[in-house]
Amino acid sequence: MKHFLAFILLATAAQAEAPQITKVTAIELGGTWRFDVSILHPDTGWDHYADGWRVLDMNGNELGLRVLAHPHENE
């Protein structure tokens, strides 16, 4: 049976455009999972950047949180 997950992107309050998920890779490693996520967001600095993403199960329960601790406006 396949399990589907949802990714929720977080952004600072001055958000003009919603972040977009551009790539997700999920790999099972010995009973745990690793998620590599690429997001696209027009970060402009500390006042406007995507600051994280969450992995949710189909019931909305949070399975993981990845905090992005700084803007990535040049990446």
**Which element (helix H / strand E) includes 38?**
strand 32-40
Per-residue pLDDT at 1: 36
- Whole-angstrom CA distances from 1 to 4, 11, 48, 49, 59 are 10, 33, 40, 36, 16
Domain boundaries, the chain: 6-67
pLDDT tens-digit series, residues 34-60: 888 888 888 788 888 888 888 888 888
Per-residue pLDDT at 5: 56
Q: What DSSP assignment string belongs to 46-60?
A: TTB-EEEEEEE-TTS
